Structure 1
Amino acid sequence: MTHDELAGVVDLFGALTREELAEARSELAFRQGEEEPDPAAVDAALEEYALVEHEGLLVAGPAAFPTLPPEASDLPYIVDVPEREVDHEEIGERVRDDLLAAVERDDPERLRELSYDLEAWAPVDASDVRARLESEGEES
């Protein structure tokens, strides 16, 4: 599954635990006649901000274009997941804080792009991330 497909499965439910996502992915693999999915794909999607983890729940992240993989539309009838509400503003604030902390160690162009993705994804202002990136660039 691509990062966008992982985000699509999570977005189908609103939020999933890692275990629930693993169950959904296993079910999809079985239905599609494929091998068991690689659990490292979730960590890779988290690293790319296609997924965001907050308080034990995964949500589709700011860098994702959630897409449902084939046969995923049946998952809500197969995987038992309780209804949940997620606070996108709270999660957005946490992601913004992560981006601010990453300014010194990560690719500035990627972080700038993610800051705009974040503002489109959650009701937060990430201009401080861009300002920090600019000030870091001036110090170099």
Structure 2
Amino acid sequence: MTSDITAQAEIFVTPGSMLRTARISQGLGEREVADRLNLMPNYVDILERDAYDELRSPAFARGYVRSYGQLVGMDEDALLKAFDEYRQGQGARKKRVETKALQLQSTGLGVVIGLATLLLLTAGLWFWRG
């Protein structure tokens, strides 16, 4: 029974929670970690919440997690394995959104009337000057 509880607990462990636990156990603040890693101040919170899509460059998330793990002395392989599994699970849950092509302009009655008005104004000015 205990092994079942342990197995279930391991399923819910995310890279962000692992990083947060390691940071707190070392007595580091979010701002201090951000300063040491030269990250934007809110990046530490984003990494700990596993909200990688909120980063300015989500493609660099794995590197940020790796650097953060090295800073707090975590096992790099285990952390990156957890990160890859988490991202793979997130990708499976995302729903594909289909969009239609945007129609920029339609040729209709308004365009024809506008062109006719412009033609009449040009002819009127040409007649008035001549």
More strand by share: 1
Q: Same fold (TM over 0.5)?
A: no
Query: Structure 2 length normalisation: TM-score?
Result: 0.30
Please identify the structure whose Cα radius of gyration is greater. Answer: 2
